[in-house]
Every structure is written in C-alpha cells, then in structure tokens.
Amino acid sequence: MPIYALGEKTPSIDPTAFVHPDAVVIGNVTVGPNSSIWPGAVLRADHGKIVIGSGTSIQDGSVIHCTSTHDTVIGDNCVIGHGVHLEGCRIQTGSLIGSHAVVLHNAVVGPTALVGACALVGNGKIVPPNARALGVPATITEDVVTSADIEPSAQIYIRNASWYLQDLRLLD
C-alpha cells in the first residue's frame, strides 16, 4: 500500500486499522484503531492534518484533504461513503456521509448526523446533531436521525476491517 511521508510529516496508522493496498495515505494522517481505508481512497495531508478516529470507514474512491488553515477531523464510528470528498471540515462521532457527498472548509457535521448521497455541505455550514442534510446545497432537517440509523453500517465496516486484515490476499 502506498503510504508516504512528506518531509517530516509521517502517517500514523494504528496496527488494528485496515488500509487497502490500493489506497493512498500521504503526510500528516492519523488513522485510529479498527478504522478502515478502502480501495482508491486518497488521504493527503500535506499542509495540515487529517485525523480519523476509531472504528471509522473511509470507503472506496473517497478523497480526504486539508489545507494549511483547515484540518480535516473525522470522529469515531463514522461511515464515509463511496466517492466522498471531505476538505477542511469536522465530521463528529457516529455520523454518516453518503456516497459522493462533498463537505467543505469549516463545515461541521454534528454527532449522529447524516449527509445524504451527492449532497453539498458548503463552507462554514453546520449540520446539527441528529440532523439530515440533503441536496445541493444541503437543506437541513433537524432531529430525524438516531444512532440506530448509522451504527449498523459502522459495525459492518469494523468487522470487514478485521476480516480483510486477516484474509485479503493478492492472486496472480
């Protein structure tokens, strides 16, 4: 798997985390225990830092970036769907970001919140706890999401990370 230091900026990946061989991790990236980074995902922390909590999945084709003034921080037990773009934002514990959604600078997705597939959470936008954000730009509906809506998906990826760490093998 391509894991790169950039000068003094070196990734820190917990040994219980799964990083697929086709994912790319560059620079000041921290990946917590039981998290997973799937094929085609790119985590590039060249000017700031990226922090991934425990039990969080960064699914296939997602791009996680930061800037010199905006780190990207993702909490524990989050589900970051396929093809998501996160840049300079905060995704708090237990949240789900749907496939192909975009969350930009200074945006905050609160705990147990859901950003729907293909939604755009623009600069500085706040998605409150237990809210749902849908559309372009995202429209927010408060108090409609519970941990029961997200936790099963997080648990699937925690189990998958363990399974892949043990059994994934390249065939010729």
Would you write out the chain's pLDDT as a tens digit for each of its 172 residues? 689 999 999 999 999 999 999 999 999 999 999 999 999 999 999 999 999 999 999 999 999 999 999 999 999 999 999 999 999 999 999 999 999 999 999 999 999 999 999 999 999 999 999 999 999 999 999 999 999 999 999 999 999 999 999 999 999 8
CB neighbour list of residue 152: distance below 8 Å, 6 or more residues apart: none
Which residues have a Cβ under 8 Å from the Cβ of 12 and sit 6 or more positions away? 29, 30, 31
The DSSP-derived string for 54-93 is TT-EE-TT-EEE--SS--EEE-TT-EE-TT-EEES-EE-T
CATH superfamily, domain at 3-167: Hexapeptide repeat proteins (2.160.10.10)
Q: Is 143 exposed, middle or buried (0-12, 13-18, 19+ CB in 10 A)?
A: exposed
Residue ranges per domain, the chain? 3-167
